[in-house]
Amino acid sequence: MRLARGHVLIGINDEALLAGARDIEAALREALHAHGLADEIEVIETGDLGAAGQGVVLSVYPDGVQYAGVGVEDVDEIVTEHLLKGRPVERLRLAARPIAPTGLTGKQPRIVLENCGVIDPESLEEAIASGAYEAMAKVIESGVLPADIVDVVKQSGLRGRGGAGFPTGLKWSFTAPGDRKYIVCNADEGEPGTFKDRLILEGDPHRLIEGMMLAGYAVSASAGYLYIRGEYQLSIDRMQTAIDAAREAGLLGEGIFGSDFTFDLEIKKGAGAYVCGEETSLIESIEGKRGYPRIKPPYPGAVGLWGKPTVVNNVETLANVPPIVLHGAQWYRGFGTEDCPGTKVYTILGHVENPGLIEVEMGTALRVIIDEYGGGVRGGKRFKGALIGGAAGAFVDEASLDVAMDFEGLKDYAAVLGSGAILVFDETVSMVDVLHGILHFFRHESCGQCAPCRLGTAQLVETIDRIASGAGSVEDLGLLRDIATMMRNTSLCPLGQSPILPIETVLGCFGDEFTERLTDGATAPSSRQGRN
Amino acid sequence: MRRLLEKYAPSKEHMLDMLHDLQQDEPRNYLTRDALRAVAEYVNISLSEVVSTATFYSMYSLAPRGRHIIRICESPPCQLVGAESLIDLLAQHLGIAVGETTDDGAFTLETTSCLGVCGVAPAMMIDEELVGNLTPARIVDAIEAVRRRDATG
């Protein structure tokens, strides 16, 4: 990074491009030049700055001021007022900081997103200057053994961030011995409302590469696959650029840091199948087959990709590994809760003032996430409920607002953390319509391999269609539960086992609404209206 | 076709990439019978095995589609802010139902599950281009912009 008095970071993602980020960047460079600031202030393209729905977002350093919804017409004012005269343009300032300044323990809780929106994701040099590959270098230089890495990850208490929350170190220790093993990173992020992994892929690709390398070192695997869903073209391009740069620099390949450790990785592009987020389906898909889930056991740790022992981890999980290895398990345990140390990245969406992406400590109350980070319910309306964890997640109502959000805390409310998507509903939303959408989603995404899920998802759709149209009966509500319970007990993979959770929780929290719709279909409120 | 395939080792492992490339190379955005046969021959597996994989994934089509694919998101976060009525409007504007192609072969309308851009919901993609914060007016504008681009060639 060239030495400059200040930096303006411009977050480049799909949303920003849509809002004219390229034009704004050009205007900014032009204005800096016109005011003779081109040598003093550097403009840097970076990944997402964590504020969704805010158009083009700029961060000005060293001041740390963030501007949202910037247009070409605002550029001159920012340059003349702020960069030239040091007076931030108040009317453009982002209302709430999208990413937490301090967490439960009063510490800066950015671990996973530490570099997202701060570095240029296409520059290996900037990544290295921000600490990339330091953990890997330390491991090699100080002769840390693979088993020690497994131990430190175990002691850190890191749990899988893909949804299930299985202890990562334990998963690694279950990897069977063998001459050939694989590390697979699951970046098939398809849970509706979830895009945390996309931000890591696009914002800090080298962190993920290093996480995969460390996992490879820990379980003695020399090859990795990064399976990214086909719709994430920008993620695929950025990761490919990063892999090429790392390989070019000798950070990937044979003899890493002069040791005898060899590791390389390859991207696999998905082709549109939600079920491939399930680890054995994903393995089948990498092998070039239909993404049908396998019967477990055997688990991938024993029989995985091409029959070899394979570790499958989520993007966010692996992104936690380098700082754990670098700073130690005790440091990591300083964040979050006893059972769930560390932070969690959430996407907070729906009827909140500031939809977006946040990283907070595990155990942060749902109320704090919605009010302080999400800016509260949009338009001063009343909070009705939320769906936590995507379509396969759970509904909660007002009574659950103080739940400590982690894998354990949510259990008390019969809910799950899942993928980390929080969809907030205000008082105008019809929960019947929301469940209607979710059940249609499951029918569409059922892979069709096992009968309980193939038939069950279709029957759930028929039943909810009847209820939503006002032609349902009380028996239909019982039928939803019965079908979904049968599916949970007999389906092959988590997809078919999922619908029971949203059904049970929505009926538990908002059962009255369903009963009302049965008798009074025509006048029930509907959320299906266009945005004004 | 052979040239596209030879980028990859002749192994089933690369089949998804091969299918992506061949489909993109075909102006009508689908996998022709010849393309499927070429993959089968190159990888040395049966045609039925290639078809079996190709038909599993929603991004592949075995029937001709429009020159442009419109994928509108129908996931709960988009639905919550009105995607459903927009799907109807889009279908009406194009004069086709979801899954169909316009008579002039310009557009195919498909629905998709979450595109991962929920911050700008409701959202759709036209080919590789993302269009978010959809309103009836923005939808019509986006379609007409593509039509104009095509007309000026």
What pLDDT does A7 receive?
Answer: 82
Share of chain A above pLDDT 70, in %: 93
Task: Give residue A104's pLDDT.
Answer: 52
B-chain residues within 8 Å CB-CB of A529?
A: 82, 85
In 3-state terms chain B splits into helix, strand, coil percentages (rounded to 5) of 50, 10, 40
* pLDDT 10s digits, A113-150: 988 888 889 999 999 999 999 999 999 999 999 999 99
Domain boundaries, chain A: 6-92, 124-333, 343-426, 431-523
Which residues in chain A have Cβ-Cβ distances shorter than 8 Å to B114?
190-194
What pLDDT is recorded for position B137? 92
The shortest CB-CB distance from B57 to any of A17, A194, A271 is to A271
Q: Measured between beta carbons, which residues in chain B are less than 8 angstroms from residue A444?
A: 113
* Residue to substitute from A289, A308, A436, A438, interface B, most B β-carbons within 10 A: A289
State how far residue A330 is from chain B, nearest Cα, in angstroms.
34
How distant is the Cα of A200 from the closest Cα of chain B, in angstroms? 13
Helices and strands (H and E) in chain B: how many: 7, 4
Q: Of the candidates B20, B53, B77, which has its C-beta nearest A350's C-beta?
A: B77
Inspect the interface and report whether the beta carbons of A15 and B135 lie closer than 8 Å: no
pLDDT average, residue stretch B57-74: 95
Domain A6-92, CATH homologous superfamily name and number: Glutaredoxin (3.40.30.10)
pLDDT digits 0-9 by tens, A428-478: 999 999 999 999 999 999 999 999 999 999 999 999 999 999 999 999 999
The answer on pLDDT for A517 being more than 80 is yes
B-chain residue closest to A374, CA distance = B119
Distance from C-alpha of A249 to C-alpha of A49, rounded to nearest angstrom: 28
CATH of domain A124-333: 3.40.50.11540
At B23 the three-state DSSP class reads helix
Q: What is the pLDDT of residue A528?
A: 43
What pLDDT does residue A34 have? Answer: 87
CATH for A431-523 is 1.20.1440.230
Answer yes or no: is pLDDT of A192 > 60: yes
- Which residues of chain B make contact with A285, given a CB cutoff of 8 A? 16
What is the distance between the alpha carbons of residues A398 and A381, in angstroms, rounded to a whole number?
13
| Two structure tokens written together for A368 | 């704090």
Query: Among residues of chain B, what percentage have pLDDT more than 70?
Result: 100
Best of A235, A266, A349, A435 to substitute, by most chain B Cβ atoms within 10 angstroms, is A349
Nearest to B16 among A18, A269, A441 (CB): A269
Residue of B21, B24, B75 for testing the chain A interface, max A β-carbons within 10 Å: B75
- Does the pLDDT at position A353 exceed 70? yes
Partner residue opposite A387 with nearest CB, options B56, B57, B76: B76
ipTM: 0.94
pTM of the model: 0.86
Q: Nearest CA of chain A to the CA of B56: how many Å?
A: 6
Q: Which numeric CATH code is attached to A343-426?
A: 3.10.20.600
Q: What is the DSSP letter of A522?
A: G
The B129-131 sheet, strands edge to edge: B107-112, B68-73, B124-126, B129-131
Q: How far apart, in whole angstroms, are the C-alpha atoms of residue B79 and residue A35?
A: 46
Q: How far apart are alpha carbons A108 and A335 in whole angstroms?
A: 9
Confidence (pLDDT) at A107? 54
Q: Which residues contact B3 (CB under 8 A, 6 or more apart)?
A: none
Average pLDDT over residues A493-508: 96
Q: Which residues pair with A364 in a beta bridge?
A: A405
Does the distance separating the beta carbons of A530 and B82 come in below 8 Å?
Answer: yes
Exposed e or buried b for every residue in A382-404, given b needs 16+ CB within 10 A?
A: ebbbbbbbbbbbbbbbeebbebb
In sign, the C-alpha dihedral spanning B108, B109, B113, B116 is positive
Judge: A528–B85 Cβ closer than 8 Å, yes or no: yes
Is residue A532 very low, low, confident or very high in pLDDT (cuts 50, 70, 90)? very low
Q: To the nearest whole number, what is the mean pLDDT of chain A?
A: 90
**What is the CA A380 to chain-centroid distance, rounded?**
28
Average pLDDT over residues B34-45: 98
The two three-digit tokens of residue B56, written as one number = 């599993």
- Please report the pLDDT score of residue A469 as a whole number: 94
Find, among B107, B110, B117, the residue nearest to B81 by Cα. Answer: B117
When pLDDT is averaged across residues B131-149 and rounded to a whole number, the result is: 92
The answer to whether the CB of A274 falls within 8 A of the CB of B113 is yes
Which residue on chain A is closest to B111 by alpha carbon? Answer: A444
Q: Chains A, B: CB contacts under 8 A, how many?
A: 157
What pLDDT score does A17 carry?
A: 81
Residue A439 has which token pair? 């059940």
